[in-house]
Structure 1
Amino acid sequence: MALDNFVAFEYLQQTVAVRMQNTYVDGYANFGWQLQEVKEGVHGVTLSFKRDRTIAHKTELNRLQKTFEQQLARVIRLERAKSVGARIVGLTVGIGGAAFMAGSVFAWEAALIVLSIILAVPGFLA
């Protein structure tokens, strides 16, 4: 009978950053997922997976997969936190330096040369 060879599949799509593509592909392979398609998009790469629905120990695999996804989300948040802190410091120093330079220019226009020099020094350092 033709139904003896039938295999039911379940499907999964994940949109991930390009730099995390290999991590997701390798990780999902450990849970029985087979990569079917990779689509490049605006916000990253969309990975399409499939796996046999009758896989052994499916409940345990789903639990482990959920833990894996949570840990990867945590890694992504930690990577983002590194750049966010540096960006905030950079913007603060830049805006502060611009404010000192603006104060220096206004002091120069008001013929307050000493104040202009005092305000220009931190402006140049920033």
Structure 2
Amino acid sequence: MNEITKNSRDFVGYEYKDLTAPEDKFSLYLDSYENFGWSVDPNAPQRQEHGLITVTVKRDRRIVNKAELTRLQRNFDACVQEIEALERSKTSGPLILALTVGLIGTVFMALSVFAVTAQPPHIAACILFGAPGIAGWVAPIFIYQRRLHQKIRQIDPLIEEKLEEAYHLCERGHQLLPH
């Protein structure tokens, strides 16, 4: 009656890694990391804070082609970082330009206020400085929108190229995995 049942599973040693990604890119990271031999560790909790999601992933320590998979994974990580930098650059240039125009408008408005509060008031100087001041406060909205659309048209093809490169790396990694 004392039967010892043997488990047919062999020992597997895992290596672990915390994978942290922005919420909007989390699925891209998770799906892609599977192509480098990683899977989500069901025993580790998922953490979320400040727009980032962190999960623990694991893979077999003795996975075949580990060095090449790690190299491909690093190249993938570099591609994704470049994509994130390109995404940030879409808004940073237009924002800086709009803020600069707004700041110049504020300087003109300050000169207008100084002109009208001077003794005696300089109404002509007030009008002369006030008009570009108002324009400097209104124009940034339109400047930002126009420059943003130009940047999007300029940068989106670069992002698509980087995504294709990342997908190609994932495809090569997937081919190296034992099936």
TM-score normalised to structure 1 length: 0.90
Q: Residues of 1 paired with 2:122 and 2:9: CA distance?
A: 93
CA apart distance, 1:75 = 0.8
Which residue is equivalent to 1:27? 32
52, 73, 84: which one aligns with 1:76: 84
Q: Between 26-35 and 1-10, report the one with greater CA deviation.
A: 1-10
Q: Which has the higher contact order (CA 8 A, sep 6+)?
A: 2
Q: Residues of 2 paired with 1:97 and 1:16: CA distance?
A: 39
Which residue is equivalent to 2:160? none
Which residue is equivalent to 1:118? 128
Unmatched 5+ residue regions in structure 2?
Answer: 1-5, 137-179
Q: What is the one-letter code of the residue matched to 1:19?
A: D
- The alignment partner of 1:5 has SS state of coil
Matched, 1:60 2:65: no
- The alignment partner of 2:46 has SS state of strand
- The alignment partner of 2:64 has SS state of coil
Q: Residues of 2 paired with 1:27 and 1:121: CA distance?
A: 54
Q: What is the one-letter code of the residue matched to 2:58?
A: K
23, 38, 41: which one aligns with 1:18: 23
Quick one: percent identity of the two aligned structures? 38
Deviations 1:22-73 (A, max 9, x none): 1111110111110235310235111211111121211111111110011111
Q: Residues of 2 paired with 1:38 and 1:86: CA distance?
A: 36
- The alignment partner of 1:25 has SS state of helix
Unmatched 5+ residue regions in structure 1?
Answer: none
Q: Between 37-46 and 68-77, report the one with greater CA deviation.
A: 37-46
Q: Residues of 1 paired with 2:129 and 2:40: CA distance?
A: 60
CA apart distance, 1:118 = 1.0
Q: Residues of 2 paired with 1:2 and 1:104: CA distance?
A: 85
- The alignment partner of 2:80 has SS state of helix
Higher strand share: 1
Q: Residues of 1 paired with 2:86 and 2:56: CA distance?
A: 26
Matched, 1:100 2:108: yes
